[in-house]
Amino acid sequence: MQQVEAVLTDELRNQSPFVNDLLQYGGQLGGKRLRPALVLLAGRALGQLNQHHYTLAAVVEMIHTATLVHDDVLDEAEVRRHLATVNARWNNESSVLLGDYLFSHAFYLASTLETTAACQRIGRSTNIVCEGELRQVGNRGNHGLLEAEYFEIINGKTAELCACACYLGAHYGENGPTWSTTLESYGRDLGMAFQIADDLLDLLGDESATGKSLGTDLEKQKCTLPLIHCYKEANEQDRAELCALLDAPDSQTRQRLQSWFERFGAIEYAQKMATRFATRARDQLRDLPASEAKTVLAEISEFVVARAV
């Protein structure tokens, strides 16, 4: 990861003090560096890493950070990774433009590789991510959102970039064509588990522990899996009461929903689904040659779910 950080440091600097401050600050918000780690681990699981892996890991992290910066504007979030969001510290205009800068620079950096394969895949994946975000915005206030539709949304907004990271790591690795689809599937299932767990944290987590603004899904009337399960299991009268509660969110809505979750077993159901995707992710690795990287990939699938259990 040290080589990836070096690429990010070299690429995310600017002669303008204001732009440079934004780039340096935004670079701190990515946090766990999960997606670049997936690029490296997928490559390492197949053999030795090369410079393409470090470059693409930086590209994926830039794209991820851009989506976070834009998400914070959409959610009006004020805290991420225990830091003020870019929009809270500066303003929405700076946040939107910083996200745009990161997107465009990521594509420029990908274009420096010898072939266009990475650019094509990253372009397709970024388009799918944006489509997922648009579909989520379009379904705000849709309390009758179907579980299948929710899965399609999070597959786009979250799982696609994890799948892309794993695919690129494998594609540019040794014997990549043999394993790229397998590792891509691992990344997709991992991303699904990650997002379900993240949605649970938004409903149940502690801001001091997570280091980011919580409850924004309720404020923006985003329908996540526990709410979908409650609505599906409720009768008509209960559905009307639930919709009335969700249509007027306030600081007490999270607390009021706890009785609904307990009544319908919604949290346990969402945890079960997250675990199911995490198990599927591990199963994708079954035939991969034994290696330390393979072990870490399996451990990551357990970690992403454990955050919300």
For the cut 70, the answer to whether the pLDDT of residue 210 exceeds it is no
For the cut 90, the answer to whether the pLDDT of residue 41 exceeds it is yes
pLDDT band at 309 (very low <50, low <70, confident <90, very high): low
pTM: 0.94
pLDDT in the model for residue 95: 95
Q: Is 26 exposed, middle or buried (0-12, 13-18, 19+ CB in 10 A)?
A: buried
265 three-class SS: coil
Per DSSP, the residues of 190-217 read HHHHHHHHHHHHHHH--HHHH-S--SHH
For residues 290 and 209, the model is more confident at 290
140-195 pLDDT, tens per residue? 999 999 999 999 999 999 999 999 999 999 999 988 788 999 999 999 999 999 99
Token match 């522990």: residue?
209
Number of domains present in the structure of the chain: 1
Token match 């594509």: residue?
107
For the cut 70, the answer to whether the pLDDT of residue 208 exceeds it is no
pLDDT band at 74 (very low <50, low <70, confident <90, very high): confident
For the cut 90, the answer to whether the pLDDT of residue 22 exceeds it is yes
For the cut 90, the answer to whether the pLDDT of residue 102 exceeds it is yes
Residue 250 belongs to domain with CATH number = 1.10.600.10
The 10 Å Cβ neighbour count of residue 17 is 8
At CA 218, angle to CA 235 and CA 207, rounded to 5?
Answer: 130
- In a 13 Å sphere around the CA of 140, the CA atoms on its Cβ side amount to 14
Q: Which of 161, 186, 156, 193 is nearest to 42 (CA)?
A: 186
pLDDT in the model for residue 238: 96
The domain of 296 spans: 2-306
